[in-house]
Structure 1
Amino acid sequence: MQTKALMWMVFCFGVLCSTVSWSSPSGEDDTATVAPPADLKLLNRSVMVFRATLLGETPEFRARRAKTVISEELDEMGEHLVTLEPIQGSFMVLIGSRRAFFVFPKDVDSLEYDSVKAAAEGAASKLRQVVAESQEARSLRLFLQDAGICLLATLLFAAFLRGGFFVRRKLLGEMRRLMPQHVKALKVAQTQLVDAHYLYSLVSRTIDLLGWALTALVTYTWLSFVLSRFPYTRPWGESLNAYLLNAVGYLLESILDALPGLGIALAIFFIARGAVGLSRRILRRMAAPGNVSWLNQETLSPTTRLMAIAIWLFALAMAYPYLPGAGTDAFKGLSVLIGLMISLGASSVIGQAAAGLILTYTRTLRPGEYVRVGDHEGTVTELGMFTTTIRTGLGEVLTIPNSMITGTVTKNYSRTVQGPGYVVDTTVTIGYDTPWRQVEAMLLEAAQRTQGILSQPTPQVFQTALSDFYPEYRLVAQAVPSQPRPRAELLSMLHANIQDVFNEYGVQIMSPHYQFDPKHEKWVPREKWFAAPAKEPDEE
C-alpha cells in the first residue's frame, strides 16, 4: 500500500509539472525544445507512441524505461496480467504488479477523456498480445507446429507453381495444334484476317501475363501466411495482409463508387446513339426533292456525318464528369496534353476540312465533272473532306488539297453544257492575211471530223483577241461523256484534224512577228473573203 501511495504522489507531481507553463527569461518559445515522439516496440510490434515529456523524461527515455520493465517482467516465469488504472484523466498500464508506462492526454494530442481511454486500452491490448506471443515463442511444441504448417504451405506453394507451369505448357501445346484449323474460319470474303503465328504469339503472351500475375498473388499470400505463423515476424505478415486487404477494399470501393457515374455515362451514350439514328432519318427525309434547297443527295452524306460528330462530341462533354477517374490529376493532365496536341497540330487539318465543307455545300465540284484547277485538269473522281482526287487523261491521278482549290480559280468544263458531257476548247493564232471566215470554217470542219464531239449543240468559234500580229481563234465544242475516250485523247485528235484541214486548204498555221514592214500590205481582198471552205450567206 505504501508503494502504491508513493506512485500516486509521484504521478500527481509529474502531472503538475508537465501542465505548468514556464516562461524563459529571454522570452523564447519553449515549443522549439519539444522532444520528438518515440515508439515502444516489443517483439517487432508497436505497442505505444510516446509524445509527452514527464518530469524531464523525454518520450525516448520513457520508451526505453517501459521496454526495460516489460522485458524484465516477461523474463520471469508465471502469468503476466496486464491491467489498466485511471489516474486524474490519464491511465497507468500495469504488467503484473509493476508499472509499465503512463498514457497522458499529450500522448494522444487530445484532452478528451474518451480519446485517452481508447488509446490506453489499445496499448494495453497490444501489450497483452506481446505477452501471449512471448509465451508462444518460448514453447518448443508451438514452434515445431508452426514450422510444420509452414513447411506444408511451402510444399503446396511449390506444387501450385509446378502445376501452373504444367497447365501452361499443355494449354499452349493444345492451342498450337488447334489454332491453325480455327483461324482459317476468320475470313472476310477471301482475306485472312489473322495469321495463326501472330495470334498464337498474342495469346501465349496473354497467358504468360495472367500466369505471372497469379503467381505473384499466390507468392504474396504464401509469404504473408508464413510470416504470420511466428511471433517475431507476425507483425510483418499482418502488415502484408492488411495492405492486400486495403488494396482489394480500395479497388472494390472505387468500383462501387464509379458504378453510378458509369451508369449515367452509359445512359448518355445510349441517348446519343438514338439521337444519331433519329437525325439520320430526319435528314434523309429533308433531302427529298422540294424540301430544302441546300440539302440533297450530294450533301446528305457529309451533313449526316457532321450531325453525328456534333452529337457525339456533345455527349462526350456531358458524360466526361461521370467517367471513372475524370477528377484525378492524371486524367486532367492527359486531357490537357490531348488538347495541346490538337491545338498545335490540327490547324491545317481543320482548314482542309473547312475547305472541303465549302466545296461540298457550294457545289463547286462534283464527281464525274471535268475541271481545271490551276495548272491541273481532269475528271473529278472523289471529293473528300480533306482532299479531292482528279484523274487526268494522261494516266495520272492527282490528289489536290481542298484549301488549294478554294484559293485558286477553278474551271468547270461540265457545269454549263447542255445535257451530259463536257466542254472541249482549243486556241490557234493565224496571221491577218488569212480570211477569218476561212479560219472559222476550217476549225468547224475539224470539229466535225473528230469522233466524240457532238454536232448539237453546234461547235462555235470565237475571236477572243486581235493582237498586234495576228487574231486569236478559239474553238469551243461539247464532248460526249459516254465515249470511252478521255479529254486529253479527244483534244489530241482534234488538234490532228485541225492540222489536216489547214494543210488541205493550203493555210499555214503560224503566228507571224515582224521585224520591219513588208513590201506588200497584209490584207484580204473582198473576193477572197469566202475562200473555201467558207460559204457566202446566200449559198447557205
Structure 2
Amino acid sequence: MNRGKITNRLPLFVSSFFLSLVLPFTFCLALFMPHGDAYGMEETSHALAADAVASSQEMRQSMPLLISNRKIIVLKGPIVGLSATERVANSTKRIEDVLRATKKVPQIAIEDIEDGRATRITLDGKPAFVVTPIDIDPQAGETTQIVARETAKRLHDAMAEWQEQRTMRYIGMAILRSVAATLIFAAILWLLARANRYGMHKLAMAGQTQLQKTAGGRLDWLDRGFIHVSIMRLLRLLGWMLVVILGIAWLIFVLEQFPYTRPWGEGFEDSLVQLLADSARQGVAAVPGLVLVAIIAVIARMIMRIVSEFFRRVGAGKIEVTWLSTDTVRPTQRIVNFIVVAFALVMAYPYLPGAGTEAFKGLSVLIGLMISLGGASIIGQALSGLILMYIKAFKTGDYVRIGEAEGVITDVGMFTTRMRTGTEQEIILPNKSVMESTTVNYSRPSSGSGCIIDTTVTIGYTTPWRQVEAMLLEAVKRTPYFADQPQPFVRQTALSDFYVEYKLVACLKPHADMTRSGALTALHGHIQDVFNTYGVQIMSPHYESDPPEPQVIKEGDWRPHPAKPSAQDS
C-alpha cells in the first residue's frame, strides 16, 4: 500500500480504533459496575483523598462521596472517631443497601439534628449520611441546610442513573444508540475519504484558477505546482479538523449514553464549551486592542513612505541637504525606518492579545536574551557598516587595499563589504574586520580624479639614480593609460645594503578603459623594455652584486616565437 492510499484511509482507521476500543469499554462498565461503586480501585480512592481541605481551625481529611461515578458531597474527618474515608465507606454502603432493596428512586428527606447544628439526609426513612459543621465552609456563607439541599439534588440524579444501570433495556438501547452513532460517524469518515481521493484535486484546481484570476499578475512569481500543492494541503488540513470535531462529538455522545460514563462526557463537553466561551470572550475583548494596533501600523507605514520619498528625492539630487550626501542617504533611511518600526512596536506591544500574561512576558524575556547573546556579533557588524558609510572611507567603485585584499569596491552593505579583485574574484569582507584593518584608497589622489598606481624596483648602486628615475618615467610615458596631471614621480624609499629601492607613483586617466591590474601589467612590461633598451638589469628584490655582463634582452629578441606584437609595444 502506497503512502497516498494510507493517507486516504486514515479516517477509516481512526473510526475503527474508536469503535473497537470505546464501545467494549463502556459496555463492560455498564454491565459489570452497575452498583455505582466509587471504590472499585483503591488507587482512585487514595488519589481523591489527597484533595484535603482546611476547616476554619485545622487541616482535616476529606473524601468525596461518589454514586454512579458522580460526586455527591465531600465528607471530612475525623469526627467521633471516624475518618473521612470511613464516613464515605459507611455512607456508600447505606445508600447502596437502600438502592438494592427497591427498583425505584428512593424518597429523599432532609431533617435537622443536634438542635440544627447538623442535617441528616434519609432515603425512604433510612439514614444515609449527616452533613456536619466540619463539612461546610462558613466563610463562604454555607450552612448544613443549604449544603444538604444541594446534595439531595445531586443524590437524586445519581440514584436515578444507578437504577438505569440495572435496567438491561436501557443498557441495550444505549448500546444501539452508540452503535448507530458510530456507524454514522464511520460513514461520514468514509465519505470524506472518498472526497479526498476523487474530489480534492478538482477542488484544488478550481481554487487555483480562481485565485490566479482574482490576483491577476501578482502571483506570477509563484509556481503553479506550488499553488496547487498548497491548496491541497490546506484542504487536507480542513478535512482533518472536521474529522477531529466529529470525533469529539461522537465520543461525547457515546459516553453520555451510559450512566457510569455520563459524568465523563458531560465534563468533557463542559470543558470544551468553557474553552470556546473563554476564547470567544478573549477574542471580543482583544478587538479594541487589535484595532489600535492596526492604526499604529498604518501610521508607521505612512511615516515610512514619507521618509522613503524624502530620501529618494535627496538621492536623486532634487532636494539638497547639507548633512546628507549621496553615499549616506541609504544608511540614514535604514536608521530612520528602524527607529519608526521600533517605536511602533513599543507603542503596540501593550495592546497585543495576551501581552499581560506571564507566558507572553516570559517569551519576550527569552527573545531579548537570545538577541543579546546571539546578536552581539550581528549588531557589531551593523554598527561597523554604518561607521564605514558615514566616515566615507571608500565608496562603490573605489579601488582599495584592505589588509591583504585588493580590488574594486562593488557594494558597501550593512554587514559586509564586497570587493572584486583584478583576477575577477569576489571577496566578501565582514565590516568589523574592515574596521580593524588598514585601508588604502587608491581612488583618492591628492589632485586629479584618477586611480593611483605604484610599483617598486631595486637597482644596484652602480647604476646612477638619475638614470633609473628617467627610465621609470619613460616607461610611464609609453603606457597610454596614465594621465599627465598629476605628473608621475619617483621616490627613493630605501638605501639597503646592496641596492637602492625606487618607488614609481602614477595616476590613471579618470576614464581610462583599463582596470588597475591591467594598467599595472602594461606598466611592468614597459619598465622591462626600457631597462633592457638601456642595458640596465633588474634583479629586485634580491640584488647582491653585478654579474660579469649585464643580464638584459636585446630589442630584437623581445618577441621570440610564439610571442606576437601587442598594443603595449607601441
TM-score (norm 2): 0.74
Q: Distance in 2 between matches of 1:323 and 1:133?
A: 48
Pair 383,146 (structure 1): closer, same or farther in 2 beyond 3 Å: same
Query: Mapping of 1:51-62 within 5 angstroms?
Result: 51-62=76-87
Pair 455,125 (structure 1): closer, same or farther in 2 beyond 3 Å: same
Return the match for 1:445 from 453, 462, 474: 474
Relative to structure 2, which stretch is displaced further, 157-166 or 434-443?
434-443
> How far 1:499 sits from its partner (Å)?
1.8
Letter in 1 for 2:487: T
Return the match for 1:76 from 90, 102, 114: 102
Correspondence for 2:428:
399
* Paired residues of 1:110 and 1:116 also in contact (CA < 8 A): no
Return the match for 2:111 from 58, 63, 85: 85
Return the match for 2:276 from 248, 260, 285: 248
Q: Distance in 2 between matches of 1:238 and 1:103?
A: 27
Deviation string, structure 1 residues 97-137 (Cα, Å, up to 9, x no partner)? 33332222310232676454432222111122134334545
SS in 1 for 2:353: coil
Query: Mapping of 1:8-19 within 5 angstroms?
Result: none
Query: Mapping of 1:116-195 within 5 angstroms?
Result: 116-137=144-165, 142-143=170-171, 145-174=173-202, 193-194=222-223
SS in 1 for 2:475: helix
Structure with larger Rg: 1
Q: Distance in 1 between matches of 2:465 and 2:412?
A: 43
Correspondence for 2:300:
272
Q: Distance in 2 between matches of 1:410 and 1:382?
A: 16
* Paired residues of 2:252 and 2:266 also in contact (CA < 8 A): yes
Letter in 2 for 1:233: T
Correspondence for 1:523:
none
Deviation string, structure 1 residues 438-479 (Cα, Å, up to 9, x no partner)? 333332222122122223433333344455554443332221
Deviation string, structure 1 residues 381-420 (Cα, Å, up to 9, x no partner)? 1111222112121222222222232223221111126554
Correspondence for 1:230:
258
Correspondence for 1:63:
88
Q: Distance in 2 between matches of 1:425 and 1:254?
A: 73
SS in 2 for 1:324: coil
Q: Distance in 1 between matches of 2:216 and 2:62?
A: 71
Correspondence for 2:450:
421
Letter in 1 for 2:266: E
SS in 2 for 1:365: coil
SS in 1 for 2:482: coil
Pair 159,50 (structure 1): closer, same or farther in 2 beyond 3 Å: same
> How far 1:291 sits from its partner (Å)?
5.3
Matched, 1:377 2:406: yes
Relative to structure 2, which stretch is displaced further, 315-324 or 232-241?
315-324
* Paired residues of 1:84 and 1:91 also in contact (CA < 8 A): yes
Letter in 1 for 2:239: G
Pair 80,380 (structure 1): closer, same or farther in 2 beyond 3 Å: same
* Paired residues of 1:353 and 1:386 also in contact (CA < 8 A): yes
- Measured on the aligned residues, the alpha-carbon RMSD in Å equals 3.8
Pair 234,190 (structure 1): closer, same or farther in 2 beyond 3 Å: closer
Q: Distance in 2 between matches of 1:471 and 1:515?
A: 12
User: Gaps (5+ residues) in structure 1?
Assistant: 1-29, 519-540
Matched, 1:110 2:135: no
Correspondence for 2:123:
95
Q: Distance in 2 between matches of 1:187 and 1:481?
A: 49
Matched, 1:478 2:507: yes
Letter in 2 for 1:393: G
* Paired residues of 2:105 and 2:156 also in contact (CA < 8 A): no
Deviation string, structure 1 residues 58-99 (Cα, Å, up to 9, x no partner)? 333333333333333333256633233345243332333333
Correspondence for 1:49:
74
SS in 1 for 2:241: helix
User: Gaps (5+ residues) in structure 2?
Assistant: 1-54, 549-570
Deviation string, structure 1 residues 218-270 (Cα, Å, up to 9, x no partner)? 12211211221233332222122122222222322333344344344333333
Q: Distance in 2 between matches of 1:414 and 1:231?
A: 91
Correspondence for 1:491:
520
> How far 1:299 sits from its partner (Å)?
0.5
> How far 1:361 sits from its partner (Å)?
0.3
Correspondence for 1:262:
290
> How far 1:363 sits from its partner (Å)?
0.4
Q: Distance in 2 between matches of 1:180 and 1:78?
A: 64
SS in 2 for 1:298: coil
* Paired residues of 1:105 and 1:112 also in contact (CA < 8 A): no
Pair 299,57 (structure 1): closer, same or farther in 2 beyond 3 Å: same
Letter in 2 for 1:215: V
Q: Distance in 1 between matches of 2:137 and 2:257?
A: 35
Correspondence for 1:216:
244
Pair 187,502 (structure 1): closer, same or farther in 2 beyond 3 Å: farther
Q: Distance in 1 between matches of 2:307 and 2:208?
A: 45
> How far 1:423 sits from its partner (Å)?
1.4
Relative to structure 2, which stretch is displaced further, 222-231 or 365-374?
222-231
> How far 1:295 sits from its partner (Å)?
1.4
Deviation string, structure 1 residues 364-393 (Cα, Å, up to 9, x no partner)? 011111112223221111111222112121
Q: Which has the higher contact order (CA 8 A, sep 6+)?
A: 2
> How far 1:138 sits from its partner (Å)?
5.4
Pair 114,86 (structure 1): closer, same or farther in 2 beyond 3 Å: farther
Q: Distance in 1 between matches of 2:492 and 2:405?
A: 25
Deviation string, structure 1 residues 418-443 (Cα, Å, up to 9, x no partner)? 55421122233334444444333332
Pair 280,150 (structure 1): closer, same or farther in 2 beyond 3 Å: same
> How far 1:282 sits from its partner (Å)?
4.9
Give the number of equivalent residue pairs.
Answer: 487
TM-score (norm 1): 0.78
Correspondence for 1:316:
345
* Paired residues of 2:70 and 2:158 also in contact (CA < 8 A): yes
Q: Distance in 2 between matches of 1:228 and 1:436?
A: 111
Letter in 2 for 1:82: I
> How far 1:302 sits from its partner (Å)?
0.8
Pair 425,350 (structure 1): closer, same or farther in 2 beyond 3 Å: same
SS in 2 for 1:84: strand
Return the match for 2:490 from 444, 451, 461: 461
> How far 1:345 sits from its partner (Å)?
2.9
